[in-house]
Amino acid sequence: MAAPMVRGLVLVAAASSSRSPAAAYHARPLGLSLSRSARSRPLGPDTPEWQRGPGPERRRFAAAGAASGVAAASLWPGPGDLRRLVRHQVDWQPPLHVMCAGIRAADTQRRQRQRDRQKLIAANMAKMPKMVEEWRREKREAKVKQREEKARRDRLLAEARERFGYSIDPRNAKFQDMVKELEKEEKKKLKLIKRRKNVEAGGSEVLPAAATP
């Protein structure tokens, strides 16, 4: 009979000794009192700005009530605050019918913009074949003009080399001046040919005005 009791006492002692020492620790309460911490000291010149004003006073009164030393009557909004609240409510909290009217107007404008965009797309798509053909024509004309310009430039270079000799560097200043002179002469020839064609076609030739003495 004694043996089982001894074994039970040994097991209880082993279980109690196996627990962590921290399990038996109970922290002492800090003894903080919200009412005492919220009870404000008199505001002085050293009080920071964030502890001044109606906002901090409301928080102190909410935490400690009358023990905060804040007069409850001073926490109510003044006339200026009320006007700001009313203006804020009008601007940001309009009545339901006003909000619905604004939503309908915005939806109408959105639908109108969508219709206008669809009309513009349809008009541009109708013009697309003509625009593509115009672009191709301009591209062909640009290529033809580029080939003609290259041929004209090569002809002028060949003529300038015949005058200066093929040993001259095309980057030479005299060579470039000669090419420019040849271009001017060619432009004059083209103008004369164009004027002669106009005369042959029955047009009137415009003579230069005589210089006044």
Considering its fold, how many domains does the chain have in total? 1
Which pLDDT value is given to residue 37?
A: 46
Which pLDDT value is given to residue 212?
A: 41
Is 205 inside any structural domain?
no
CB 62 within 8 A of CB 32: no
pTM value surpassing 0.85: no
Is 89 inside any structural domain?
no
Is 164 inside any structural domain?
yes
Render pLDDT for 196-206 as a digit per residue (tens, 0 to 9). Answer: 888 887 655 54
Range of the structural domain that residue 107 is part of? 96-187
Is 27 inside any structural domain?
no
Q: Highest-confidence range of 45-49, 134-138, 177-181, by mean pLDDT?
A: 134-138
Which pLDDT value is given to residue 5?
A: 56
Which pLDDT value is given to residue 55?
A: 82
